[in-house]
Amino acid sequence: MPDRIALQQFVDAFPPDAGTRVPTDPFLTYGEGHVPDALVELWRTHGLGWYGNQRIALVDPGEWMSTLQTWFGNEVGSFPIAVTSFGHVYHYDRPGGRDRIQCLDPHFQNNQVVSDDIVDFFNSHLTGNNSHPADLHALHNASRDAKGDLGENEIYYFDPMLAMGGQVRIENLQKGDGPRHLAEIHRAVGARAGA
């Protein structure tokens, strides 16, 4: 069993699912120069992939970066670090030398700062009662029962889209490619706004 790490409270609340994988050495080396040590330690110890029975995924930023570029433009300074099973994208940057973790909620067209410290974000925000994983726990379990497990970079979503007036109902539930669906939401909302 690995020694306790800085983000152990997160790991205890959201144990790594089967299939998490430790990234390559070049990935970790690159991370050492761009993210806090605690996140690199989590990647090195437990890896990328789903945690907490697929409630949240630690993601390869490169695989989700196009999502932030679609929503915020190509010059966006943050990069994705985690995604909920319903596609809420947590993204990290360090303006003025201070951590900032934001959450993009594509379903309700909202982006907000949720923490200014990576350890607090993982150990307190995500494990707390006022986070998307907590709010969506029962819906997540019902979605897994209805649609099965998620694959890498997949999310659950509703059709019609919530952003277009759809409703949270199991009969409207779908699952599929997360980055693609979030781009579709952005295009649909943009088209409606331009109409």
State the Cα–Cα distance between residues 172 and 169, nearest whole angstrom.
Answer: 5
H or E element: which one contains 79?
strand 79-84
Whole-model pTM?
0.95
- Comparing C-alpha atoms, which of 107, 81, 80, 90 is closest to residue 184? 107
Q: Which two tokens stand for residue 172?
A: 């409207």
pLDDT at 3: 77
Model pLDDT for residues 78-116, shown as the tens digit of each residue: 999 999 999 999 999 999 999 999 999 999 999 999 999
Distances (CA, A) of 93 to 115, 116, 124, 157, 159: 11, 10, 19, 27, 32
70 within 8 A of 180, measured Cβ to Cβ: no
Instruction: Look at residue 2 in the predicted model and tell me its pLDDT.
Output: 55
Q: pLDDT by residue (tens digit) across 6-40?
A: 999 999 999 999 999 999 999 999 999 899 999 99
33-38's contacts with Cβ under 8 Å and 24+ in sequence apart are 34/79, 35/81, 35/92, 35/118, 36/99, 36/118, 36/119, 37/6, 38/5, 38/6, 38/7, 38/118, 38/119, 38/122
What whole-number percentage of the chain has pLDDT above 70? Answer: 98
- Domain residue ranges of the chain, discontinuous segments joined by +: 8-194
pLDDT tens digits for 110-147?
A: 999 999 999 999 999 999 999 999 999 999 999 999 99
Direct distance between the N- and C-terminal alpha carbons of the chain, in angstroms, rounded to an integer = 57
Whether 174 shows a pLDDT value over 60: the answer reads yes
